[in-house]
Amino acid sequence: EAQVTQNPRYLITVTGKKLTVTCSQNMNHEYMSWYRQDPGLGLRQIYYSMNVEVTDKGDVPEGYKVSRKEKRNFPLILESPSPNQTSLYFCASSLLGQPQHFGDGTRLSIL
């Protein structure tokens, strides 16, 4: 089954403790992206990648890192999480120019 898989689905952690949210897709998509979704603000892009070893900043990249060492994986790294990064995060992938397939989200709470 074609899917985008995020882990974990839920995480409660504390300020400053490094965390990684993994994202994997099995559709051989070139394009992958991370978004955060906050009430009243809609989806905002954090980082995106057009192919292996190619990443670029979205609208709200501060405090986040990504890597794209393999085509299928696009992890999101929070080196020193802060409470303002408490949010619902989505990973998405697509063929170039096509509608994106989204994962089911990761709800992060940073205390």
Partner 1 sequence: KNQVEQSPQSLIILEGKNCTLQCNYTVSPFSNLRWYKQDTGRGPVSLTIMTFSENTKSNGRYTATLDADTKQSSLHITASQLSDSASYICVVSAGLRGGGATNKLIFGTGTLLAVQP
Binds partner 1 (CB under 8 A): choice among 66, 76, 92, 110: 92
Q: Are 46 and 58 in contact (CB under 8 A)?
A: yes
Alpha-carbon separation of residue 80 from 2, 12, 86, 101, 111 (angstroms): 33, 14, 12, 29, 12
- What is the distance between the terminal CA atoms of the chain, rounded to a whole angstrom? 36
Give me the least distance between CB of 79 and partner 1, in Å please: 25
Binds partner 1 (CB under 8 A): choice among 40, 53, 62, 69: 40
Q: Does the footprint of partner 1 cover residue 53 (CB under 8 A)?
A: no
User: Contact positions toward partner 1, by CB under 8 A?
Assistant: 4, 30-31, 40-45, 50, 90, 92, 94, 96-105
